[in-house]
């Protein structure tokens, strides 16, 4: 029977967007497609692996791990992709079947009728996640977690219903309970707004990784990856990597995030109706121009590029 905690769209409990079996080749591709600073992926994977090796063995009085990793950084820097890819990687590390990924949609909870957010959050953490995970090792993606773990010290009681405060309280209480009872759970949370997160939430994270805008080497790898990927379909585009003008196009990308760099290439492919009709005609000058335009647009919008 469906009740108020059931997601009517697909029969999943309210707040759960999707459940996948791991490993998943699509997620492996995502992980490989994201270029971040040296050592960041290794650090993420190591922390995630430790979650599943150590937590069931060592008392929390010795090492109070909560099983929460947080990725923070500007929009479009690859946080969600890394979180999804990490789930796949950690499952592969153990070479055992049975790992799962549960994707939570915090907006489904926060959009609950006024006064019901706290209840929805409690139900998700205390019942739905427990029953979905069972005893199987499970990674839970909490994307845009600032919706759930709102910084209570910044909330005015006038503008925000007490329910929002209580929803954050509920998240914290439930995280403590799950940390105690479910060492086979790992939460991977992402946020664009670390300053909007409640400090008590951040303090429960076992690792906080900052994913910044790519530096020039990062831009080179992202642009190169994108251009080489297009080269699979349009061989002339693949030959642009390392050609004269490539370095200048890379330099024009500095200040853009990874998503914006890939979108600038997309804009370059649409720089004229002729190129759009035959994308293999795109030039490095087109890509350079599109990256410059993206940076200007960002500046005009008050961004930092
Ligand atoms: N560091 C990166 N390396 C390569 N590609 C990247 C990188 N960052 C972003 N991208 C590209 O941008 C797309 C969007 O990335 P993703 O959604 O993971 O970013 P995000 O940080 O979660 O953004 P948001 O904060 O807006 O949710 C990815 O699919 C990828 O193609
Ligand atoms: Mg994201």
Q: What is the pTM of this model?
A: 0.92
Choose one of 186, 210, 234: the last residue of a domain.
Answer: 210
Lowest mean pLDDT among 125-134, 213-222, 267-276: 125-134
Contact 142, 104 (CB under 8 A): yes
CA of 192 to the centre of ligand 2 (A): 8
Burial 208-220 (b: 16+ CB within 10 A, else e): bbebebbeeebbb
In a domain, 2, yes or no: no
Ligand 1 binding pocket mutation candidate from 35, 74, 78 (most atoms within 8 A of CB): 78
- For ligand 1, atom 4, which residue shows the shortest CA distance? 34
Rounded to whole angstroms, how far apart are CA atoms 25 and 207?
26
Of 226, 218, 220, nearest to 73 by C-alpha is 218
* Nearest ligand to the CA atom of 32: 1
In a domain, 184, yes or no: yes
Give the pLDDT confidence of 41-89 residue by residue, as tens digits. Answer: 999 999 999 999 999 999 999 999 999 999 999 999 999 999 999 999 9
In a domain, 130, yes or no: yes
Range of the domain at 270: 216-300
Question: What per-residue confidence (pLDDT) applies to 6?
Answer: 42
Choose one of 187, 210, 233: the last residue of a domain.
Answer: 210
CATH at 96: 3.40.50.300
Rounded to whole angstroms, how far apart are CA atoms 254 and 35?
14
**How far is the CA of 116 from the CAs of 32, 111, 112, 143, 290, in angstroms?**
40, 9, 6, 20, 46
CA of 80 to the centre of ligand 1 (A): 7
Q: Is the pLDDT of residue 4 over 60?
A: no
* Nearest ligand to the CA atom of 78: 1
Question: What per-residue confidence (pLDDT) applies to 164?
Answer: 75
Are residue 204 and residue 133 in the same domain, yes or no? yes
pLDDT category, 160, cuts 50, 70, 90? Answer: low
Are residue 166 and residue 229 in the same domain, yes or no? no
In a domain, 60, yes or no: yes
Torsion over CA of 51, 180, 149 and 91, rounded to 10 degrees? Answer: 30
The whole-number average pLDDT for the span 230-252 is 98
Are residue 206 and residue 237 in the same domain, yes or no? no
Choose one of 160, 189, 210: the last residue of a domain.
Answer: 210
In a domain, 11, yes or no: no
* Nearest ligand to the CA atom of 220: 1
pLDDT category, 117, cuts 50, 70, 90? Answer: confident
Are residue 277 and residue 249 in the same domain, yes or no? yes
CA of 81 to the centre of ligand 2 (A): 7
Are residue 244 and residue 284 in the same domain, yes or no? yes
Question: What per-residue confidence (pLDDT) applies to 170?
Answer: 87
Average of per-residue pLDDT values in the chain = 91
Residues with CB under 6 A from ligand 1: 33-36, 75-81, 190, 192, 214, 222, 257-259, 262
Overall domain count for the chain: 2
Ligand 1 binding pocket mutation candidate from 77, 144, 254 (most atoms within 8 A of CB): 77
Percent above pLDDT 90 for the chain:
72
Question: What per-residue confidence (pLDDT) applies to 215?
Answer: 97
Are residue 181 and residue 275 in the same domain, yes or no? no
Are residue 147 and residue 201 in the same domain, yes or no? yes
Give the pLDDT confidence of 170-196 residue by residue, as tens digits. Answer: 889 999 999 999 999 999 999 999 888
The whole-number average pLDDT for the span 234-253 is 98
Lowest mean pLDDT among 6-10, 136-140, 164-168, 241-245: 6-10
């Amino acid at each position: 029977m469906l009740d108020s905690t059931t997601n009517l769209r697909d029969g999943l409990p309210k707040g759960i967007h999707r459940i996948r079996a791991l490993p998943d080749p699509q997620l492996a591709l995502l992980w490989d497609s994201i270029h971040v600073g040296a050592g960041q992926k290794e650090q993420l994977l190591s922390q995630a692996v430790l979650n599943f090796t150590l937590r069931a063995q060592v008392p929390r009085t010795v090492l109070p791990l909560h099983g929460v990793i947080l990725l923070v950084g500007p929009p479009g820097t690859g946080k969600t992709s890394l979180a999804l890819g990490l789930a796949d990687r950690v499952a592969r590390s153990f070479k055992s079947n049975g790992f799962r990924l549960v994707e939570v949609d915090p907006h489904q909870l926060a959009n609950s009728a006024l006064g019901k957010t706290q209840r929805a959050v409690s139900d998700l953490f205390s019942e739905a996640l427990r029953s979905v995970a069972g005893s199987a090792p499970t990674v839970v993606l909490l994307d845009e977690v600032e919706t759930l773990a709102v910084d209570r010290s910044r909330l005015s009681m006038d503008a925000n219903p007490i329910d929002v405060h209580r929803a954050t309280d509920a998240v914290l209480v439930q995280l403590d309970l799950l940390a105690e009872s479910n060492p086979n759970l790992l939460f991977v949370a992402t946020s664009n707004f670390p300053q909007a997160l409640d400090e008590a939430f951040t303090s429960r994270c076992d690792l906080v990784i900052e994913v910044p805008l790519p530096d020039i080497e990062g831009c080179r790898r992202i642009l190169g990856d994108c251009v080489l990927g297009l080269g699979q379909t349009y061989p002339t585009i693949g030959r642009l990597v390392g050609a004269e003008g490539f370095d200048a196009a890379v330099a024009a990308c500095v200040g853009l995030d990874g998503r914006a760099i890939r979108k600038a290439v997309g804009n370059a492919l649409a720089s004229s109706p002729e190129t759009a009709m035959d994308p293999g005609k795109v030039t490095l000058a087109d890509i350079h121009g599109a990256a410059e335009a993206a940076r200007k647009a960002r500046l005009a919008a008050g961004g930092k590029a």
